[in-house]
Amino acid sequence: LFDMGPHAPRDLVVRDHMIVKPPHTTGPTPWHQDEAYWEEDKLYQELSVWFALQKTTEQMGCMQFIAGSHRGEVRPHHSWKNDPKIIALEVDAGCADATLAVACPLHAGAATVHSARTLHYTSGNRTDEPRRALIFTVGTPPAQRDQPRNFYWNQKERDYKKEYLDRGVRQ
């Protein structure tokens, strides 16, 4: 799953971010693969470690995964709700079988680990308390791919951003 190859630990790329899902939010984080957001001409080898900062249940929107979905290429995605103004991707219909989902409720301080190609999802938070998580992404430096992929779904977002910025500059 993770081969450091010729890289030393000091070469690792490490990123982090925190997510807070407020109480009584019904919006999910749709099924997606993290690599679908990234550059088409790079070869990635990264893992995400999702730390629960408090007990995280299915009702709070714990992580859910589809086992084995990390095998193969990145599946087709689209802007969530087909709206390029929303900075979230969702895997295309038929590319994720949610009946195979494995929910991973966690105790505070526990973590899940998934690769950049693992299909994952969280439901909305249907409880009275916020759901907090800290995510670390660790990987080797991206390598150049021999053949770039076509992540056409990211082009739609880039086009929207360019149009938005162009409008702002003209006003």
pLDDT category of residue 160 using cuts at 50, 70 and 90? confident
Helix and strand numbers, DSSP H then E, in the chain: 1, 12
Whether 148 has a pLDDT exceeding 50, the answer reads: yes
d(CA 80, CA 77): 9
pTM of the full structure: 0.87
Range from 22-31, 69-78, 119-128, 159-168 carrying the lowest mean pLDDT: 159-168
What are 113-129's pLDDT values in tens digits?
999 999 999 999 999 99
Task: Give the 3-state secondary structure of residue 37.
Answer: helix
Q: Where are the alpha helices (DSSP H) in 8-108?
A: none
d(CA 30, CA 16): 20
What are 58-114's pLDDT values in tens digits?
999 999 999 999 998 999 999 998 887 788 899 999 999 999 999 999 999 999 999
Task: Give the 3-state secondary structure of residue 123.
Answer: coil
What are 38-55's pLDDT values in tens digits?
999 999 999 999 999 999
Whether 163 has a pLDDT exceeding 80, the answer reads: no
130-164 b/e with 16+ CB inside 10 Å = b?
ebbbebebbbbeeeeeeeebebebbeebeebeeee
